[in-house]
Amino acid sequence: MNGFLKVLLDIFRQPAVIVALIALIGLVAQRKKGTDVMKGTIRTLVGFLVLAAGAGVVSGSLDPFGAMFQQAFDVQGVVPNNEAIVGKVLVEYGSVAALIFFFGMVVNVLLSMTSHFKYIYLSGHVAFYMAAMIAVIFKVAGFPTWGAVLWGSIAQGMIVTVSPAIVQPFMKKVTGTDDVALGHTGGAGIALSGLVAKLTQSRSHPSKSTEDMKFPSGLGFLRDTTVITALSMGLIYLVVALFAGPTFIESKLSDGTNYIVFSLLQGATFSAGVFVILAGVRVVLGEIVPAFKGISERLVKNSKPALDVPITFTFAPNAVLIGFLSSFVGGIVGLVVMAVAGTTIVVPGVIAHFMTGGASGVIGNGAGGRRGAVLGAFVNGLAITFLPLLLLPVLGDVGFSNSTFSDADFGVAGLFLGYLDKGGGQIAIIVGILAALVVLYASSFVLKRRAGRREAADPI
Protein backbone atom coordinates (compact mmCIF):
# COMPACT_ATOMS: atom_id res chain seq x y z
CA MET A 1 0.00 0.00 0.00
CA ASN A 2 2.81 2.39 0.94
CA GLY A 3 4.58 1.52 -2.31
CA PHE A 4 1.44 2.29 -4.33
CA LEU A 5 0.95 5.59 -2.49
CA LYS A 6 4.56 6.54 -3.21
CA VAL A 7 4.10 5.80 -6.93
CA LEU A 8 0.87 7.82 -6.95
CA LEU A 9 2.54 10.78 -5.26
CA ASP A 10 5.50 10.55 -7.62
CA ILE A 11 3.10 10.71 -10.57
CA PHE A 12 1.27 13.76 -9.22
CA ARG A 13 4.56 15.54 -8.55
CA GLN A 14 5.29 15.52 -12.29
CA PRO A 15 3.71 18.58 -13.92
CA ALA A 16 4.04 17.09 -17.41
CA VAL A 17 2.04 14.04 -16.34
CA ILE A 18 -0.61 16.19 -14.64
CA VAL A 19 -1.10 18.36 -17.72
CA ALA A 20 -1.18 15.28 -19.98
CA LEU A 21 -3.79 13.61 -17.75
CA ILE A 22 -5.89 16.77 -17.85
CA ALA A 23 -5.70 16.72 -21.65
CA LEU A 24 -6.61 13.01 -21.65
CA ILE A 25 -9.64 13.53 -19.42
CA GLY A 26 -10.76 16.55 -21.41
CA LEU A 27 -10.48 14.75 -24.75
CA VAL A 28 -12.32 11.69 -23.43
CA ALA A 29 -15.03 13.95 -21.98
CA GLN A 30 -15.51 15.38 -25.47
CA ARG A 31 -15.83 11.83 -26.81
CA LYS A 32 -13.00 12.22 -29.27
CA LYS A 33 -11.75 9.28 -31.29
CA GLY A 34 -9.22 7.04 -29.59
CA THR A 35 -6.51 8.12 -32.01
CA ASP A 36 -7.24 11.80 -31.34
CA VAL A 37 -7.17 11.21 -27.60
CA MET A 38 -3.81 9.46 -27.83
CA LYS A 39 -2.40 12.11 -30.16
CA GLY A 40 -3.54 15.05 -28.02
CA THR A 41 -2.35 13.44 -24.79
CA ILE A 42 1.09 12.59 -26.13
CA ARG A 43 1.54 15.98 -27.79
CA THR A 44 0.62 17.69 -24.51
CA LEU A 45 3.06 15.51 -22.55
CA VAL A 46 5.88 16.07 -25.03
CA GLY A 47 5.12 19.78 -25.37
CA PHE A 48 5.33 20.27 -21.63
CA LEU A 49 8.58 18.30 -21.48
CA VAL A 50 9.95 20.53 -24.24
CA LEU A 51 8.92 23.56 -22.16
CA ALA A 52 10.59 22.07 -19.08
CA ALA A 53 13.72 21.29 -21.06
CA GLY A 54 13.90 24.90 -22.22
CA ALA A 55 13.48 26.07 -18.64
CA GLY A 56 16.34 23.75 -17.66
CA VAL A 57 18.56 25.28 -20.33
CA VAL A 58 17.73 28.78 -19.11
CA SER A 59 18.32 27.76 -15.50
CA GLY A 60 21.64 26.14 -16.42
CA SER A 61 22.85 29.31 -18.14
CA LEU A 62 21.77 31.48 -15.20
CA ASP A 63 23.60 29.45 -12.53
CA PRO A 64 27.08 30.68 -13.54
CA PHE A 65 25.68 34.19 -13.91
CA GLY A 66 24.67 34.18 -10.24
CA ALA A 67 28.14 33.00 -9.22
CA MET A 68 29.78 35.63 -11.44
CA PHE A 69 27.56 38.34 -9.99
CA GLN A 70 28.45 37.43 -6.42
CA GLN A 71 32.14 37.33 -7.25
CA ALA A 72 32.04 40.58 -9.23
CA PHE A 73 30.36 42.67 -6.56
CA ASP A 74 31.46 40.79 -3.43
CA VAL A 75 27.90 40.20 -2.28
CA GLN A 76 27.08 37.40 0.14
CA GLY A 77 23.68 36.62 1.51
CA VAL A 78 20.53 34.59 1.05
CA VAL A 79 19.79 33.45 -2.49
CA PRO A 80 16.07 33.05 -3.31
CA ASN A 81 15.97 29.77 -5.21
CA ASN A 82 12.97 27.46 -4.93
CA GLU A 83 14.77 24.31 -6.04
CA ALA A 84 17.58 24.82 -3.53
CA ILE A 85 15.33 25.47 -0.53
CA VAL A 86 12.81 22.74 -1.42
CA GLY A 87 15.63 20.19 -1.64
CA LYS A 88 16.51 20.99 1.98
CA VAL A 89 12.87 21.00 3.13
CA LEU A 90 12.12 17.59 1.66
CA VAL A 91 14.83 15.92 3.75
CA GLU A 92 12.77 16.55 6.88
CA TYR A 93 9.23 17.31 5.71
CA GLY A 94 8.97 15.47 2.38
CA SER A 95 6.02 13.19 3.15
CA VAL A 96 3.95 15.99 4.72
CA ALA A 97 4.68 18.25 1.74
CA ALA A 98 3.64 15.55 -0.74
CA LEU A 99 0.34 14.91 1.06
CA ILE A 100 -0.44 18.63 1.31
CA PHE A 101 0.28 18.95 -2.40
CA PHE A 102 -1.97 16.01 -3.36
CA PHE A 103 -4.96 16.93 -1.20
CA GLY A 104 -4.44 20.61 -2.00
CA MET A 105 -5.17 19.72 -5.64
CA VAL A 106 -8.42 18.10 -4.53
CA VAL A 107 -9.37 21.24 -2.57
CA ASN A 108 -8.54 23.34 -5.65
CA VAL A 109 -11.02 21.34 -7.73
CA LEU A 110 -13.69 21.49 -5.01
CA LEU A 111 -13.32 25.26 -4.63
CA SER A 112 -13.50 25.67 -8.41
CA MET A 113 -16.71 23.61 -8.48
CA THR A 114 -18.40 25.54 -5.66
CA SER A 115 -17.19 29.12 -6.11
CA HIS A 116 -16.89 31.83 -8.74
CA PHE A 117 -13.11 31.22 -8.94
CA LYS A 118 -13.01 28.47 -11.55
CA TYR A 119 -9.28 28.02 -12.01
CA ILE A 120 -7.62 24.60 -12.11
CA TYR A 121 -3.96 25.05 -11.17
CA LEU A 122 -1.83 22.93 -13.50
CA SER A 123 1.67 24.21 -12.64
CA GLY A 124 2.42 21.18 -10.50
CA HIS A 125 6.07 21.94 -9.78
CA VAL A 126 5.52 25.36 -8.18
CA ALA A 127 2.40 24.07 -6.41
CA PHE A 128 4.63 21.40 -4.86
CA TYR A 129 7.09 24.10 -3.77
CA MET A 130 4.21 25.95 -2.10
CA ALA A 131 3.20 22.74 -0.33
CA ALA A 132 6.77 22.39 0.92
CA MET A 133 6.73 25.88 2.42
CA ILE A 134 3.34 25.27 4.04
CA ALA A 135 4.64 21.99 5.50
CA VAL A 136 7.57 23.85 7.10
CA ILE A 137 5.37 26.55 8.65
CA PHE A 138 2.82 24.08 10.01
CA LYS A 139 5.45 21.77 11.49
CA VAL A 140 7.30 24.75 13.02
CA ALA A 141 3.92 25.69 14.56
CA GLY A 142 3.81 22.25 16.20
CA PHE A 143 0.94 20.66 14.26
CA PRO A 144 0.78 16.85 14.29
CA THR A 145 1.16 15.30 10.85
CA TRP A 146 -2.59 14.81 10.35
CA GLY A 147 -3.28 18.42 11.36
CA ALA A 148 -0.55 19.78 9.10
CA VAL A 149 -1.96 17.80 6.17
CA LEU A 150 -5.60 18.73 6.87
CA TRP A 151 -5.20 22.46 7.40
CA GLY A 152 -2.23 22.71 5.07
CA SER A 153 -4.24 21.18 2.22
CA ILE A 154 -7.05 23.70 2.71
CA ALA A 155 -4.54 26.55 2.74
CA GLN A 156 -2.81 25.16 -0.34
CA GLY A 157 -6.10 24.76 -2.21
CA MET A 158 -7.15 28.33 -1.46
CA ILE A 159 -3.79 29.77 -2.51
CA VAL A 160 -3.72 28.03 -5.89
CA THR A 161 -7.36 28.96 -6.51
CA VAL A 162 -7.06 32.65 -5.65
CA SER A 163 -3.63 33.32 -7.17
CA PRO A 164 -4.77 32.88 -10.81
CA ALA A 165 -7.92 34.89 -10.06
CA ILE A 166 -6.08 38.05 -9.05
CA VAL A 167 -4.00 38.00 -12.25
CA GLN A 168 -6.87 37.11 -14.60
CA PRO A 169 -8.20 40.64 -15.27
CA PHE A 170 -4.76 41.54 -16.62
CA MET A 171 -4.36 38.21 -18.43
CA LYS A 172 -7.59 38.80 -20.34
CA LYS A 173 -6.24 42.12 -21.60
CA VAL A 174 -2.97 40.51 -22.72
CA THR A 175 -4.41 37.40 -24.35
CA GLY A 176 -7.67 38.87 -25.64
CA THR A 177 -9.53 35.86 -24.27
CA ASP A 178 -10.73 34.39 -20.98
CA ASP A 179 -9.83 30.81 -21.90
CA VAL A 180 -6.53 30.46 -20.06
CA ALA A 181 -5.15 31.72 -16.73
CA LEU A 182 -1.74 32.15 -15.13
CA GLY A 183 -0.80 29.57 -12.52
CA HIS A 184 2.47 30.45 -10.81
CA THR A 185 3.74 31.30 -7.34
CA GLY A 186 4.67 34.74 -8.64
CA GLY A 187 0.99 35.61 -9.12
CA ALA A 188 0.81 38.31 -6.41
CA GLY A 189 3.86 40.16 -7.76
CA ILE A 190 2.68 39.85 -11.35
CA ALA A 191 -0.79 41.16 -10.45
CA LEU A 192 0.90 44.01 -8.57
CA SER A 193 2.85 44.86 -11.71
CA GLY A 194 -0.39 45.09 -13.68
CA LEU A 195 -1.93 47.34 -11.04
CA VAL A 196 1.12 49.61 -11.00
CA ALA A 197 1.09 49.79 -14.81
CA LYS A 198 -2.58 50.71 -14.79
CA LEU A 199 -2.17 53.38 -12.10
CA THR A 200 0.83 54.99 -13.80
CA GLN A 201 -0.70 55.00 -17.27
CA SER A 202 -1.13 58.47 -18.75
CA ARG A 203 -4.52 58.92 -20.37
CA SER A 204 -3.40 62.00 -22.30
CA HIS A 205 -0.16 60.40 -23.52
CA PRO A 206 -0.62 56.62 -23.45
CA SER A 207 2.60 54.65 -23.67
CA LYS A 208 3.13 52.57 -26.79
CA SER A 209 3.45 48.82 -26.62
CA THR A 210 6.87 47.23 -26.30
CA GLU A 211 6.00 45.27 -29.42
CA ASP A 212 5.64 48.47 -31.49
CA MET A 213 9.26 49.46 -31.09
CA LYS A 214 10.57 50.79 -34.40
CA PHE A 215 14.05 49.82 -35.49
CA PRO A 216 16.14 51.46 -38.25
CA SER A 217 16.09 49.37 -41.42
CA GLY A 218 19.71 48.41 -40.83
CA LEU A 219 18.73 46.99 -37.45
CA GLY A 220 15.76 45.04 -38.75
CA PHE A 221 17.36 41.80 -37.57
CA LEU A 222 16.65 42.95 -34.01
CA ARG A 223 12.98 42.25 -34.61
CA ASP A 224 13.88 38.59 -34.17
CA THR A 225 13.26 37.73 -30.52
CA THR A 226 15.95 35.06 -30.49
CA VAL A 227 18.55 37.50 -31.84
CA ILE A 228 17.71 40.39 -29.51
CA THR A 229 17.62 38.08 -26.49
CA ALA A 230 21.01 36.56 -27.36
CA LEU A 231 22.61 39.96 -27.94
CA SER A 232 21.16 41.55 -24.80
CA MET A 233 22.02 38.66 -22.51
CA GLY A 234 25.45 38.28 -24.09
CA LEU A 235 26.17 41.93 -23.26
CA ILE A 236 24.92 41.52 -19.67
CA TYR A 237 27.04 38.39 -19.15
CA LEU A 238 30.06 40.14 -20.65
CA VAL A 239 29.81 43.17 -18.34
CA VAL A 240 29.49 40.99 -15.23
CA ALA A 241 32.33 38.76 -16.46
CA LEU A 242 34.65 41.75 -16.79
CA PHE A 243 34.00 42.64 -13.14
CA ALA A 244 34.30 39.03 -11.96
CA GLY A 245 37.63 38.60 -13.75
CA PRO A 246 39.14 35.81 -15.88
CA THR A 247 40.83 33.95 -13.02
CA PHE A 248 37.61 33.20 -11.14
CA ILE A 249 35.55 32.31 -14.22
CA GLU A 250 38.15 30.10 -15.90
CA SER A 251 39.07 28.25 -12.70
CA LYS A 252 35.60 27.90 -11.15
CA LEU A 253 33.02 28.03 -13.93
CA SER A 254 34.28 27.60 -17.49
CA ASP A 255 36.67 24.68 -16.98
CA GLY A 256 39.48 26.62 -18.61
CA THR A 257 37.50 28.13 -21.48
CA ASN A 258 38.32 31.81 -22.09
CA TYR A 259 36.05 33.89 -19.87
CA ILE A 260 34.88 36.16 -22.71
CA VAL A 261 34.00 33.20 -24.94
CA PHE A 262 32.30 31.45 -22.04
CA SER A 263 30.20 34.50 -21.17
CA LEU A 264 29.03 35.09 -24.73
CA LEU A 265 28.12 31.41 -25.12
CA GLN A 266 26.10 31.53 -21.90
CA GLY A 267 24.16 34.49 -23.28
CA ALA A 268 23.46 32.55 -26.48
CA THR A 269 22.50 29.47 -24.44
CA PHE A 270 20.02 31.57 -22.50
CA SER A 271 18.41 32.66 -25.79
CA ALA A 272 18.30 29.04 -26.97
CA GLY A 273 16.48 28.06 -23.78
CA VAL A 274 13.90 30.79 -24.29
CA PHE A 275 13.40 29.62 -27.89
CA VAL A 276 12.74 26.06 -26.68
CA ILE A 277 10.34 27.31 -23.98
CA LEU A 278 8.29 29.19 -26.54
CA ALA A 279 8.11 26.14 -28.81
CA GLY A 280 6.83 24.01 -25.92
CA VAL A 281 4.29 26.64 -24.92
CA ARG A 282 2.79 26.71 -28.42
CA VAL A 283 2.32 22.93 -28.39
CA VAL A 284 0.81 22.84 -24.89
CA LEU A 285 -1.60 25.69 -25.54
CA GLY A 286 -2.60 24.15 -28.86
CA GLU A 287 -3.67 20.96 -27.08
CA ILE A 288 -4.59 21.80 -23.50
CA VAL A 289 -7.04 24.65 -24.14
CA PRO A 290 -9.32 22.67 -26.51
CA ALA A 291 -9.03 19.59 -24.29
CA PHE A 292 -9.86 21.59 -21.19
CA LYS A 293 -13.19 22.45 -22.69
CA GLY A 294 -14.25 18.87 -21.94
CA ILE A 295 -13.48 19.23 -18.25
CA SER A 296 -15.19 22.60 -17.99
CA GLU A 297 -18.32 21.16 -19.55
CA ARG A 298 -18.39 17.93 -17.51
CA LEU A 299 -16.83 18.63 -14.12
CA VAL A 300 -16.29 22.34 -13.47
CA LYS A 301 -18.43 24.44 -15.78
CA ASN A 302 -16.54 27.36 -17.38
CA SER A 303 -13.28 26.38 -15.66
CA LYS A 304 -9.94 27.70 -16.90
CA PRO A 305 -6.54 25.99 -16.91
CA ALA A 306 -3.97 27.96 -14.91
CA LEU A 307 -0.59 27.36 -16.59
CA ASP A 308 3.01 28.35 -15.93
CA VAL A 309 4.48 31.80 -16.67
CA PRO A 310 5.98 30.94 -20.09
CA ILE A 311 2.45 30.97 -21.53
CA THR A 312 2.63 34.76 -21.34
CA PHE A 313 5.91 35.04 -23.23
CA THR A 314 4.51 34.55 -26.73
CA PHE A 315 2.10 37.49 -26.40
CA ALA A 316 4.81 40.17 -25.99
CA PRO A 317 8.34 38.79 -26.48
CA ASN A 318 10.01 42.22 -26.24
CA ALA A 319 8.24 42.84 -22.94
CA VAL A 320 9.72 39.63 -21.50
CA LEU A 321 13.26 40.93 -21.84
CA ILE A 322 12.33 44.44 -20.68
CA GLY A 323 10.47 42.98 -17.71
CA PHE A 324 13.38 40.74 -16.74
CA LEU A 325 15.86 43.62 -16.82
CA SER A 326 13.54 45.99 -14.92
CA SER A 327 12.77 43.37 -12.28
CA PHE A 328 16.47 42.60 -11.88
CA VAL A 329 17.22 46.32 -11.42
CA GLY A 330 14.52 46.34 -8.72
CA GLY A 331 16.34 43.46 -7.05
CA ILE A 332 19.64 45.33 -7.13
CA VAL A 333 17.99 48.45 -5.67
CA GLY A 334 16.54 46.28 -2.90
CA LEU A 335 19.97 44.73 -2.29
CA VAL A 336 21.55 48.19 -1.91
CA VAL A 337 18.84 49.23 0.55
CA MET A 338 19.48 46.10 2.62
CA ALA A 339 23.24 46.68 2.55
CA VAL A 340 22.79 50.25 3.78
CA ALA A 341 20.28 49.16 6.43
CA GLY A 342 22.61 46.41 7.65
CA THR A 343 20.03 43.62 7.33
CA THR A 344 20.46 40.18 5.80
CA ILE A 345 21.10 40.68 2.09
CA VAL A 346 18.83 38.93 -0.40
CA VAL A 347 20.87 38.42 -3.57
CA PRO A 348 18.75 38.90 -6.72
CA GLY A 349 17.58 35.47 -7.83
CA VAL A 350 18.12 35.58 -11.58
CA ILE A 351 15.70 32.78 -12.40
CA ALA A 352 12.89 34.34 -10.35
CA HIS A 353 13.53 37.74 -11.91
CA PHE A 354 13.47 36.26 -15.40
CA MET A 355 10.32 34.16 -14.94
CA THR A 356 8.19 36.52 -12.85
CA GLY A 357 9.86 39.67 -14.17
CA GLY A 358 9.27 38.56 -17.75
CA ALA A 359 5.62 37.83 -17.04
CA SER A 360 5.34 41.15 -15.15
CA GLY A 361 6.70 42.91 -18.23
CA VAL A 362 4.06 41.27 -20.42
CA ILE A 363 1.25 42.04 -17.97
CA GLY A 364 2.54 45.58 -17.39
CA ASN A 365 2.78 46.19 -21.13
CA GLY A 366 -0.81 45.01 -21.60
CA ALA A 367 -2.04 47.34 -18.85
CA GLY A 368 0.14 50.37 -19.52
CA GLY A 369 2.43 49.95 -22.53
CA ARG A 370 6.20 50.34 -22.33
CA ARG A 371 6.01 52.51 -19.22
CA GLY A 372 3.84 49.90 -17.54
CA ALA A 373 6.22 47.08 -18.50
CA VAL A 374 9.19 48.90 -16.96
CA LEU A 375 7.52 50.21 -13.79
CA GLY A 376 5.39 47.13 -13.16
CA ALA A 377 8.32 44.73 -13.47
CA PHE A 378 10.51 47.02 -11.33
CA VAL A 379 7.97 46.87 -8.50
CA ASN A 380 7.80 43.09 -8.88
CA GLY A 381 11.58 43.04 -8.48
CA LEU A 382 11.31 44.98 -5.23
CA ALA A 383 8.55 42.65 -4.00
CA ILE A 384 10.50 39.43 -4.62
CA THR A 385 13.52 40.97 -2.89
CA PHE A 386 11.90 42.20 0.34
CA LEU A 387 9.24 39.49 0.77
CA PRO A 388 11.85 36.68 1.05
CA LEU A 389 13.66 38.75 3.69
CA LEU A 390 10.49 39.11 5.77
CA LEU A 391 9.72 35.41 5.30
CA LEU A 392 12.96 34.13 6.86
CA PRO A 393 11.90 34.41 10.54
CA VAL A 394 8.82 32.18 10.12
CA LEU A 395 10.66 29.22 8.56
CA GLY A 396 12.33 27.92 11.71
CA ASP A 397 15.75 26.33 11.18
CA VAL A 398 15.13 26.37 7.42
CA GLY A 399 15.22 30.16 7.60
CA PHE A 400 18.86 30.03 8.71
CA SER A 401 20.03 28.32 5.51
CA ASN A 402 21.61 30.29 2.68
CA SER A 403 18.58 29.99 0.38
CA THR A 404 14.86 30.73 0.63
CA PHE A 405 11.64 30.74 -1.38
CA SER A 406 11.72 33.31 -4.14
CA ASP A 407 8.31 34.28 -5.57
CA ALA A 408 5.72 36.74 -4.26
CA ASP A 409 3.02 34.18 -3.41
CA PHE A 410 5.44 32.46 -1.01
CA GLY A 411 5.97 35.76 0.76
CA VAL A 412 2.30 36.71 0.97
CA ALA A 413 1.04 33.26 2.05
CA GLY A 414 4.05 32.54 4.24
CA LEU A 415 3.80 35.85 6.10
CA PHE A 416 0.06 35.36 6.64
CA LEU A 417 0.43 31.85 8.06
CA GLY A 418 3.76 32.36 9.80
CA TYR A 419 2.82 35.49 11.69
CA LEU A 420 -0.51 33.98 12.69
CA ASP A 421 1.58 31.28 14.35
CA LYS A 422 3.79 33.85 16.05
CA GLY A 423 0.74 35.79 17.22
CA GLY A 424 -1.46 32.95 18.47
CA GLY A 425 -0.06 29.55 17.57
CA GLN A 426 -2.07 26.72 16.03
CA ILE A 427 -5.46 28.14 17.03
CA ALA A 428 -4.69 31.43 15.28
CA ILE A 429 -3.66 29.60 12.11
CA ILE A 430 -6.85 27.52 12.05
CA VAL A 431 -9.04 30.57 12.69
CA GLY A 432 -7.14 32.49 10.00
CA ILE A 433 -7.66 29.72 7.43
CA LEU A 434 -11.37 29.48 8.22
CA ALA A 435 -11.71 33.27 8.01
CA ALA A 436 -9.92 33.26 4.65
CA LEU A 437 -12.32 30.57 3.44
CA VAL A 438 -15.30 32.72 4.46
CA VAL A 439 -13.80 35.72 2.65
CA LEU A 440 -13.23 33.59 -0.46
CA TYR A 441 -16.88 32.51 -0.64
CA ALA A 442 -18.16 35.99 0.26
CA SER A 443 -16.07 37.46 -2.56
CA SER A 444 -17.31 34.71 -4.84
CA PHE A 445 -20.93 35.58 -4.02
CA VAL A 446 -20.39 39.30 -4.71
CA LEU A 447 -18.56 38.65 -8.00
CA LYS A 448 -21.18 36.16 -9.10
CA ARG A 449 -24.01 38.64 -8.52
CA ARG A 450 -22.05 41.35 -10.32
CA ALA A 451 -21.45 39.07 -13.30
CA GLY A 452 -25.13 38.16 -13.34
CA ARG A 453 -26.14 41.83 -13.48
CA ARG A 454 -23.75 42.43 -16.37
CA GLU A 455 -25.19 39.49 -18.28
CA ALA A 456 -28.74 40.73 -17.63
CA ALA A 457 -27.84 44.21 -18.85
CA ASP A 458 -26.10 42.88 -21.96
CA PRO A 459 -27.54 39.44 -22.78
CA ILE A 460 -25.77 39.36 -26.14
Please, which pLDDT band fits residue 404 given cuts at 50, 70 and 90?
A: confident
Q: Is the pLDDT of residue 111 over 90?
A: yes
Q: What is the mean pLDDT of residues 181-196?
A: 94
pLDDT at residue 222 in the model: 55
Q: pLDDT digits over 14-69, tens only?
A: 767 777 887 787 788 778 888 988 998 898 888 878 877 887 787 788 778 878 88
pLDDT at residue 296 in the model: 62
Please, which pLDDT band fits residue 348 given cuts at 50, 70 and 90?
A: confident
pLDDT at residue 61 in the model: 81
pLDDT at residue 316 in the model: 87
pLDDT at residue 377 in the model: 96
HEC profile for the chain? CHHHHHHHHHHHCCHHHHHHHHHHHHHHHCCCCHHHHHHHHHHHHHHHHHHHHHHHHHHHHHHHHHHHHHHHHCCCCEEECHHHHHHHHHHHHHHHHHHHHHHHHHHHHHHHHHCCCCEEECCHHHHHHHHHHHHHHHHHCCCCHHHHHHHHHHHHHHHHHHHHHHHHHHHHHHHCCCCCEECCCCHHHHHHHHHHHHHCCCCCCCCCCHHHCCCCHHHHHHHCHHHHHHHHHHHHHHHHHHHHCHHHHHHHHCCCCCHHHHHHHHHHHHHHHHHHHHHHHHHHHHHHHHHHHHHHHHCCCCCEEEECHHHHHHHCHHHHHHHHHHHHHHHHHHHHHHHHHCCCCECCCHHHHHHHHHHHHHHHHHHHHHHHHHHHHHHHHHHHHHHHHHHHHHCHHHHHCCEECCCHHHHHHHHHHHHHHHHHHHHHHHHHHHHHHHHHHHHHHHHHHHHHHHHHHCCC
User: Domain locations in the chain?
Assistant: 1-74+225-311
Q: pLDDT digits over 230-285, tens only?
A: 887 888 889 889 999 999 999 989 999 999 999 999 989 988 888 888 788 778 77
Q: What is the mean pLDDT of residues 383-405?
A: 80
Please, which pLDDT band fits residue 2 given cuts at 50, 70 and 90?
A: low
Share of the chain above pLDDT 70, in %: 87
pLDDT at residue 13 in the model: 62
